[in-house]
Structure formats: C-alpha cells, structure tokens
Amino acid sequence: MLIMMKSNATPDEIQAVCRKIEAMGFRAHPIPGAMRTAIGITGNKGPVEAAAFEELPGVAECVPVSKPYKLVGREVKDEPTVIELGDGVRVGGPELAIIAGPCAVESREQAFAIAAAVKASGARLFRGGAFKPRTSPYSFQGLGEDGLKILSDVRSEFGLKIVTEAVDNETVSLVEAYADVIQIGARNMQNFSLLRRAGKAGKPILLKRGLSATLDEFLMAAEYILSEGNYDVILCERGVRTFADHTRNTLDLSVVPAVHRLSHLPIVVDPSHGTGRREKVAPLSRAAVAAGADGLIIEVHHHPDEALSDGYQSILPVQFDELMKEIRQIAAVVGRTA
C-alpha cells in the first residue's frame, strides 16, 4: 500500500505517518514527488489496514499497489528520478549522463590519458573497473584498491565523477569509499545479498541488466536496493544473450521506453558490452539517445589492442570525440543536451 500525502502536508505530518508505519514493525519509504510525497511500506507480509492511516493529518489517500514492485514503479512517483552527483552532474535530468573510460583501470598513465581525452570531449563521468568480474579465473582481475586510488586521483585531477564496480559484499565498503557511483555487474544482478548491501550504501548504484533478465526481474533487482533505503539507482541496459552471433550480446533498446513507462528510475545504455564490437558502438549509441536513454556508458581506450580487457569493444578517443558531436545533435532532437 502507498500512502499519498496531501500536497500541503508538513514534514511533521509525513514523519508522523512514517513513525506509525515503523511502530507496526514495517519500514516506511517517504518518496517526495513534484506535487506530493508518497510513502511506501515494505516489510509487511499481508495487506496493511488503510483505516489506520486515512484519518492521520496530511494524508490524502491510501492506494493499493498493483505491481509486484512497490518503490521503483511509477505508482509511487510519476516524475523521473534525477540523481544528483554534485558539481552539477546529474543522471536522469535534461542533460545526458555520459560515462566513458576503459573497461579496467590498468595503470595511472592509462587512466589519466583516457580521462584527459574523454573529459576534453565532454564526458562528465569516468568509468573503469578496479575489481573485474571475469569469465576466466586466469584473466586480469583488476588492480583492486590500487586501482581505486588511481580513480580517486582521476577525480581530483579532472573533476570527473567515478563509476566503478563492486563484485562482492566484501569489497562494497572499499568501493563505496572511493566511488561516486557503485556499479553492480550483469552477472551480479540477482546476487540478492549484494543488492541488499548496495541498498545500505551511501552512494548511488548503477545496476546492469542480467544476461537473460526480463524487465520484471531487472526492476525487482532494483527494488531490492530501494527497499533497503537507497533510492538512487541508475538502471543500465548492456545487452542480453540471444542466438545472434554477429554481436557479443543483443542490445535491447526497446527496454528503454519500457522502463520509462513502468519506472521513475533513469536508464543508461552500454553499447560496448551490448555489441562487443568497436565499429557497432557509435551507431548503437546514437540509437540509444534517439530511443530516450538517460545516458551512455562507453568503453574508451587509447591503445585498445593492448587493453587487458574488452579491447575489441573499446573505441579510440578520437572516435569518442566524433560520437559526442553526433550525440549532441541527436540529443537536441529528443529535447536533451549532452
């Protein structure tokens, strides 16, 4: 059930409703909207009695939730969530969030060279894994905390916000200390204890769609994070497994309007993992912006042939620069900027 507060409800009235929910042993999630605050309830096993709330000051109405998810859906909040990262960097607002950088942080020189280039082309966020989820245990696993320190230096040197992955519960606290946005990878989309831990993190989460996840499974994974009190979740379409063998994955751009219809959360598109082929990154990036994506996350490497991971899908800085120019034009057509 959702408790919709009146548009003129005071903070005290909202708090009183939350206290009542918590006194019943449940968790209250006040979600402010443009017009009014909705309060979601989680932790209840059966239906919650509406009568207990309807007479409280400031309450407009109690509405049952018709979807399996309570907090990520449009029922609780009809306007898009805009995630504030500081210094005017936002995800979900009119300006597209452009995240660019290598698959993995390999060295200070590598990270700085790529950061300088993507910053000059207009990216506001830098990506790079310090902990890498690799198919083979013998592949490069990332630099670990040394990589996080390099990322933190990239932030101070270039003013870029840092997006980097946490692969397990043990390292979330470490990643949280260094990152501006914590990435949860496709293979971990249904790692429910990691999702719950991400829900307790003090940083926004970029949640990648699982390799074979339906839209409902994707949204329910996000629900795990919100249900623990972290409402700053960025969804990321990164391609799903199909029979197609001309690409690494099939980038499902139709999920962008589908997410926007059902959820207030922003969704960005990863055309690098989504295609796995350098020459397909630009066309699918353009298409993603045209389809209404809230941003892009793109792998860029200055020496892709020497990259320790995902070189074949990393574009060169000069290609990224060209792409940014194209994206700016397409963004204007769909009422966005980049």
- Shortest separation between residue 142's beta carbon and Mn ion, angstroms: 11
- Shortest separation between residue 98's beta carbon and Mn ion, angstroms: 17
Q: How far apart are CA 164 and CA 66, in angstroms?
A: 35
Tell me if 133 contacts ligand PEP by CB under 6 A.
yes
Q: How far apart are CA 220 and CA 42, in angstroms?
A: 13
The one among 9, 181, 186, 268 contacting ligand PEP by CB under 6 A: 186
- Shortest separation between residue 274's beta carbon and Mn ion, angstroms: 11
254, HSE (Cβ side, Cα atoms, 13 Å): 4
Q: Which two tokens stand for residue 273?
A: 């993992």
Q: How far apart are CA 56 and CA 7, in angstroms?
A: 14
- Shortest separation between residue 318's beta carbon and ligand PEP, angstroms: 22
- Does an H or E element contain 18, and which? helix 11-23
Q: What is the DSSP letter of 308?
A: S
Q: At what angle do helices 215-227 and 192-199 cross, to 10 degrees?
A: 50
**Considering CB distances under 5 to 8 angstroms, the limit depending on partner class, which of ligand PEP, Mn ion, none binds residue 98?**
none
Please identify, using beta-carbon distances, which residue of 180 and 310 lies nearer to Mn ion: 310
Tell me if 103 contacts ligand PEP by CB under 6 A.
yes
Binding mask 17-56 for ligand PEP (x = CB under 6 A): ----------------------------------------
Tell me if 310 contacts Mn ion by CB under 5 A.
yes
**Considering CB distances under 5 to 8 angstroms, the limit depending on partner class, which of Mn ion, ligand PEP, none binds residue 70?**
none
The one among 29, 203, 248, 273 contacting ligand PEP by CB under 6 A: 273
Distance spanning both ends of the chain, measured CA to CA: 38
Q: How far apart are CA 293 and CA 285, in angstroms?
A: 9
Among candidates 246, 264, 267, 250, which has minimal Cα distance to 76?
Answer: 264
Distances (CA, A) of 18 to 13, 151, 156: 9, 39, 39
- CA torsion angle 269 274 277 282 (round to 10): -20
Please identify, using beta-carbon distances, which residue of 93 and 142 lies nearer to Mn ion: 142
By CB under 6 A, the count of residues binding ligand PEP is 9
DSSP helix/strand/coil, 330? helix
Q: Which two tokens stand for residue 222?
A: 């996000």
- Shortest separation between residue 63's beta carbon and ligand PEP, angstroms: 36
Please identify, using beta-carbon distances, which residue of 70 and 132 lies nearer to Mn ion: 132
The residue at minimum Cβ distance from Mn ion is 103
The one among 77, 238, 248, 301 contacting ligand PEP by CB under 6 A: 238
Tell me if 270 contacts Mn ion by CB under 5 A.
no
Cβ atoms of 320 and 121 within 8 Å: the answer is yes
> Position 300: which residue type?
V
Please identify, using beta-carbon distances, which residue of 3 and 103 lies nearer to Mn ion: 103
Q: Which two tokens stand for residue 186?
A: 């496709």
Please identify, using beta-carbon distances, which residue of 203 and 238 lies nearer to ligand PEP: 238
Stretch of 70-78, 161-169, 236-244, 309-317 contacting Mn ion, by CB under 5 A: 309-317
- Shortest separation between residue 253's beta carbon and Mn ion, angstroms: 19
- Shortest separation between residue 133's beta carbon and Mn ion, angstroms: 9
Neighbours of 177 (CB within 10 A): 12
Report 88-107 residues binding Mn ion (CB under 5 A).
103
Residues of this chain that interact with Mn ion (CB under 5 A) are 103, 310
Residues of this chain that interact with ligand PEP (CB under 6 A) are 103, 129, 133, 185-187, 208, 238, 273
